[in-house]
Structure 1
Amino acid sequence: MFWGRSPRYKRLADNHPGCASLIKMAKLGILVAVALFLEAASGTSLGVVYTEGGMVQGENIRLGFRRHMDVFRGVPFADIPGRFEKPKRHPGWDGIMKATDFRKRCLQVNLLMSDTRGSEDCLYLNIWVPHGRSVSTDLPAMVWIYGGGFLAGGSMGANFLDNYLYSGQEIADRGNVIVVTLGYRVGTLGFLSTGDSDMPGNYGLWDQQAAIAWVHRNIRSFGGNPDTITIFGESAGAASVSFQTLTPHNKGLFKRAISQSGVALCPWAINKNPRRFAEEIALKVNCPTDQKMAACLKMTDPAVLTLAGSLSLTCSADSPVVENLLLSPVVDGDFLPDQPQNLFHNAADIDYIAGVNNMDGHLFTGLDVPSINSHLVDTPVEDVKRLLASYTREKGKAGLENAYSTYTSTWGSNPNKETIKKTIVEIGTDYIFLVPTQAALYLHAANATTGRTYSYLFSEPNRMAGIGRPYPSWMGADHADDLQYMFGKPFTTPLAYWPRHRDVAGYMIAYWTNFARTGDPNKGELSVPVAWPRFLSTGHQYLEINSDMKKGAVGQKMRMRYVHFWTSILPNLGINISE
C-alpha cells in the first residue's frame, strides 16, 4: 500500500528497472513481517488450564506458520506415593502451577547398578498439545508407558543435549494428536511383593492406571477427547499396556492400545514366585523373613531397598538374562484377578495393535552368548543347545530334543557360523517376544466383540549393522530400535539419519496416529504406504514395517512353525493327550 502510493518510489521504479524488483521484495518483506506480527499477537495457546488439582500453565512454542504447541511438563497426577501402597489422588494446590520443568524419574538403579537415581516423589506426567489456526479441541490422546524391564526408565527416556527420546513433539505435531508421557514406580518400590495382602505388589501398574484415569478425567481441559484415548508402550511398557487392557479396573477409561515388543504373556512379564524373591531382598537388607518381613521392608531406607533389587548381569546360555527379570507384576487377585491368558474378555472392546522387532532377542542373547557379535569367534553348536535347554528346562530332555530339531531343521549337514549365530537370535526373539505376542493376538482376536486386532513385524536394519562392532552385518531390528522412528528422531535430528529413515518414521507416525484417531491404522489424517489388514482368527495377517514397503509388506501366519512349537508342541510334552 505504502509503496504503491508514493510518487517518489514510483519514479524510481520507472527510471531504474532494477529497483522495481527491490521494491517488490521490500513490499513482500513488510507483508511477511505484518503476518508474523499478527500471528505472534494471536498465537494459539491454551494459556492457563484448569485441572482437578488446580490451575497449570505450560510453555507455548512456535513450530511454524500458524503452528504452535503447548507443552506441559511435570503435572502431578497423584500424591507422593506411600511405600508399597497404591497411589492416592493429589490434594491439589493454590494459585497457578508453572508446568515448565520435567520432574525426576522414580527412584531406581543406575545403568551400572552401582547406585540409585531419582526420587519417590515421581508421579507426574507431561503433555504435548498441537494447535493450528485455532486452539485445538476434541483431539485423540496417546498415553505413553516407558519400558526398562520394570527396573528402570522415565517419562522422558534417554536425554542427549536436551533431545529427549520420549519427547512427544513430533508425534503430536505430525499426527495432530495429544501425547502424554507418565512416570511410574519401578524396581523394588514398584513391584516387590510378598505374595499376600501384606505387600501385594503391582504398585507400578497402579501408578499407570492412576495416570490413565487422570487423563480420562482431565484431558478435555487440554483440548482432548476422553473417549478417544490410546495407551501405547514398548518392552516392559508394552507388557504394561497389555496388563492395562486385561485388568477389570480400566473399564471405559481408554479405547485403544499398542504393545511394541512385549505382552502380558511374555515369560518375563509375571513373577510366579514373588515370596521367594521378597525373602531374598529381605535377607540382603537385614530384615526377617517371617511375619515381620513386610513391616521391616516398609521401614528400610528406599535407596538400600532399590539397590537390593539390582539385576544380576552374570548371565550365560545356562542362566539367561531373561530369567533374572524377577521384579515384575504378579497375579494379586486385584489388579490381576487371574492368570493373564484368562483375562482377555476384559479387552473385548479395545482396538489393539501388537508387534515385535525381527531381532528383538539380540540384545538379550548377545549377553547370554557374546560370541554371536564377534566376526572372529565361532559360536559353537553347544551354545544353541545350552540356550534351548534353559528355555525348555521344565520339559527336560524331551523339551530340548524337540526344540533343537525344530530350530536346526533347515541347517543342512554343515551350517556356517553365520547361520548358527542367527539361529541363537531367532530362538531368543521367538521365546522372549514373538511367540507370546502372537499368542496374545490370537486371544485378543478370539475374545473381541467390537475391538479390532492388528499385528506387525518391524524389520528396519539396525543403523550400526555392517559398520562393525558391536553389530554384525546381518543384523535386523534390535530391541528398542523402533523407538527412534516412532518418536520421529529422523525429523528432529536430520543430520544423524538417511532419507529412508525419515520414511520409516513417517510411516510409523501415520499408522500409529491414524489408529489412535479411528481405530484403523489406514484411515485418518495421514496417508500410509501399504494397507494394513486386520489380524483375524483365520488369516493371521500382519504388516512388515521398514523403509522399503511395497505390496509384499503384508504377510500371514508369522513364523507359524515356531509359534506352533512353543504354544502347542512343547506344553503338551510329557502329557498323555488321550487321557
Structure 2
Amino acid sequence: MMMMLLVLLLSIWLNLSSLGVVPTEGGRVEGKNHRMGLFRSVDVFKGIPFADVPGKFEKPKLHPGWSGILKATKYRDRCLQVTLLQTKTQGSEDCLYLNIFVPQGRSLSTGLPVMVYLFGGAFLLGASNDVAILGDSLYDGKEMADRGGVIVVTVNYRVGTLGFLSSGDARLPGNYGLWDQHAAISWVRRNIEAFGGHPDNITIFGQSAGAASASFQSLSPYSRGLFRRVITQCGVALSPWSLQTRPMSLTKKIARKVGCRQSDEDKMLMCLKMSDPVGLTMAGKIDVLLILGKGVVMDLLELAPVVDGDFIPDEPSRLFHNAAQFDYMAGVNSMDGHIFAGVDVPSINNRTKDTTVEQVKGLLAGLTKEKGDAAVHSAYSLYSAHWGSVPEPAVVKKTVADIETDFLFLVPTQIALQLHANNSSTFSYLFNMKTRIPGFPRWVEAEHAEDLQYLFGKPFSTPLVYFPRHRDLSRYMIAYWTNFAKTGDPSRGDSKVPAPWPPFTKNHQPFMIINHQISKSSVSYDLRSEYVKFWTETYSRLPSVSREEEETGN
C-alpha cells in the first residue's frame, strides 16, 4: 500500500503542470520549470525581448521577432550604466528584456493577476535581476509568485544619460527610460494571457526610483486602460529627486565632459547624439566624495524624468486626474532617509562624535535653499522642539535622519496619497522593521530598500540567514501585496492576513505599520501629520529666493 502511494505521489510530482513552449507576438519562447513544493512549481522565463535594440535618444521600437524557439533561461544584460562605485560602465545598449515567473499547481494556471516590477537605483543604475543574494537575484519572483498566486514580471529599462538626458524640448525630449517601462507594460498586456495571466488585471509596483517611475506611469495619459493598480514603495513622482527641472543646464555640463563644446545648441545636441555611448554614460556619474559633509546628496541626483509635454505633459501634481482610474497603495520605510543623511551629515553614524546644531541647520539650509533663511529657522524650530534643553546625542542624530526621510520620501508620499484618495481605492503604510545592516547605531529602524528582501521572499529562499520573525514578516507582506493585486484591497483575497487594513480617504487617514508583529493595533492614523503640515503648508507658503541669491548663497 505504501509503495503504491509513493508511486502515485511520484507520478503527480513528475506530471505537475508546466507551460512548455509559449507563443508570443515575437515568436515562441521556452522557459524552465522550478519545483517549489509537493504540488507546486514556478515556470520561469528569463530574457524575453519586449522591444528592439533602442536607438540612442530614441523611443523603444517593436521587436522584429525571431524564428524557432527562444530559450528563455538566462538573464540578459542590464542597460548600459555606471557601476555602483562609479569607476567604469557595465551592461549593453541591447537591454530591453523582461522576465516572467508563473506559479503552477496540479492544473495549468489561467486568469492570474499580474504584477510588473520596476527596479530602483536613482534613475542611474539597476536591473531587473539586480543584486544576487546567495545565487538568486534580489528581484527573483519565484517565492512571491508561488506564495501569492500571481504572475510576477521584472523589466529592464534605460537609466543614466541614455535613459534620461534631455534638452527640455522636442530636440532631445528625454524620458526614454519611462518609454521603455511603458513598452514593457504594453507588451505584458498584449502577451500575458498566453502565460496564464489576466491582461485586464495588471498591477505595476516599484521601489525608490522604480516607485517614482510607477507613479509617473500612472500619471501619464498614455497609460489609460493599460493597467489597474499601482504600488509605490519609498518614492513618488512628487519626490524632490524624481524630476529634473533644469534639464538643459545638465545637458550642457554632460556635453562639455564628452567634448561637445559647441556654443550653438543644435550643433551641441547633434554632437551628443553622435558621441560614444560609454563616454556619455560615464559623463553622467556622480561623485559622492565631493559632497561628504559639504552639501546635500539630493543635489547629485540630477538625471531624472522631465516634464516633456508628451509622456509627462504637465507638473506631476497637476496630473492626478489621469491616475483616478487606478487603485493605489503607497508607503515608506521609517528610516528611508538615513543612508542619505549619513552622506550629508557623516557624524550621525559616528559613535564617538556628536552631531552639532550647526550641522542640523546646515542640512536644512541645503534642502531648503530655494526658500532661504526663513525656511531654515522655522524647520529647525519644529524638528528640535522635542529635544529639551540638553538633548541626547542619539536624539539629535535620529532627527537628522527624520528630516531627510520626511523631505525626500514621507511627505511627498503623503501628498500623493491625499491627491489620490479623492478618486479611488487608496491604502497607506509605514514599514518599520529594525535594520539588519550591521554596524549602524541602535536607533536605526528600516533602512532604504530593506523592505524588498521580505517582499521577494528571501527569508524562505535563503532560510539560513534569517530568523522565524523574518519569515512571518515576509509572509504578511506577500499576502497584503498580492491580495491588493487581485482585488484592489490588501485585506481581501486568497491570502490570509494578520489584521484588516482600512482604506485611506480624504478625511480619514489610517496607515498600516508593517513589521513582524502585525495585529489590529498596527493600524495608526495621520502619519507624522505635524511634519506633513509644515512642509505642505508653512514651507510652501514661504517666498522663494531669487535664482541669483540661491546660487551665490546670499
Partner of 2:421: 445
- CA drift at 1:574: 3.4
Secondary structure of 1:153's match?
A: coil
Deviation of 1:38 (Å) = 4.5
Q: Does 1:28 pair with 2:13? A: no
Correspondence for 2:42 among 69, 87, 105: 69
Task: Please state whether the residue corresponding to 2:122 is helix, strand or coil.
Answer: coil
CA distance in structure 2 between the aligned counterparts of 1:552 and 1:188, rounded to whole angstroms:
46
Residues 12 and 39, structure 2, Cα contact 8 Å, conserved in 1:
no
Partner in structure 1 of residue 253 of structure 2 = 280
Kindly indicate whether the alpha-carbon contact (under 8 Å) linking 1:107 and 1:120 is maintained by their aligned counterparts in 2. yes
- The residue number in structure 2 matching 1:182 is 155
User: Residue 316 of structure 1: CA displacement?
Assistant: 4.1
Matching of residues 46-61 of structure 1 within 5 Å: 46-61=19-34
Cα drift, residue 452 of structure 1: 0.6
Partner of 1:520: 489
CA apart distance, 1:407: 0.5
Aligned residue number for residue 298 of structure 1: 273
Pairs aligned (count):
541
Q: How far did 1:317 drift? A: 5.0
Deviations 1:186-244 (A, max 9, x none): 00000000111111000000000000000000000000001110000000000000000
Bigger CA radius of gyration: 1
Per the normalisation by structure 2, the TM-score is 0.96
Deviation track 1:407-453 (CA, whole Å, cap 9, x = no partner) reads 0111111101001100000000000000000000011112x1xx211
Corresponding position: 1:532 with 2:488 = no
The 2-side partners of 1:206 and 1:498 are apart by: 41
Residue type of the partner of 2:302? L
Query: One-letter code of the match for 1:120?
Result: E
Are 1:221 and 2:197 matched, yes or no? no
CA distance in 2, matches of 1:570, 1:48: 57
Residue identity in the other structure for 2:455: M
1:72 counterpart SS class:
strand
**Matched position secondary structure for 1:344:** coil
SS in 1 for 2:310: coil
Alignment of 1:91-240 (within 5 A): 91-240=64-213
Paired residues for 1:297-376 under 5 Å: 297-313=272-288, 314-376=290-352
State the match for 1:254 in structure 2.
227
Deviations 1:437-478 (A, max 9, x none): 0000011112x1xx21100000001013xx5x2x00111001
Shift, 1:155, TM fit: 0.3
Equivalent residue, structure 1, for 2:237? 264
Say yes or no: does 1:564 pair with 2:538.
Answer: no
What RMSD over aligned residues (CA atoms) do the two structures have, in Å? Answer: 1.1
Percent of matched pairs sharing the same residue: 57
Q: CA deviation at 1:43?
A: 2.7
CA contact (8 A) 2:134 2:462 kept: no
Q: 1:478 & 1:94 partners in 2: Cα distance?
A: 46
Please list the CA deviations of residues 294-322 of structure 1 after superposition, one character each: whole Å capped at 9, or x if unmatched. 21111111111000000121224552111
Q: Give the AA of the match of 1:516.
A: A
Residue 230 of structure 2 aligns with an amino acid whose one-letter code is: A
AA at the equivalent of 2:282: L
User: What per-residue deviation string (whole Å, max 9, x for no partner) do you get for residues 335-385 of structure 1?
Assistant: 000000000000111000010000100010011111111111111111100
Counterpart of 1:6 in structure 2 is none
Match of 1:386 among 355, 362, 385: 362
1:497 correspondence with 2:472: no
Letter in 2 for 1:35: L
The unaligned stretches of length 5 or more in structure 2 are: 545-554
Amino acid at match of 1:265: L
Consecutive unaligned residues of structure 1, counting only runs of 5 or more, are: 1-26
Q: Distance in 2 between matches of 1:344 and 1:109?
A: 33
**Partners of 2:387 and 2:209 in 1: CA distance:** 33
CA distance in 2, matches of 1:540, 1:453: 10
Aligned letter for 2:39? R
The answer to which of 424-433 and 52-61 deviates more is 52-61
Aligned partner of residue 100 in structure 1, secondary structure = coil
Q: Distance in 2 between matches of 1:379 and 1:396?
A: 22
Residue 406 (structure 2) aligns with: 430
Q: Does the residue aligned with 2:167 lie in a helix, a strand or coil?
A: coil
| AA aligned opposite 2:196 | G
Alignment-mate amino acid for residue 354 of structure 2 = D
- In structure 1, what is the equivalent of residue 448 of structure 2? 479
Distance (Å, rounded) in 1 between the aligned partners of 2:293 and 2:351: 19
Q: CA deviation at 1:75?
A: 0.3
Aligned mates of 1:544, 1:273 — CA distance in 2: 37
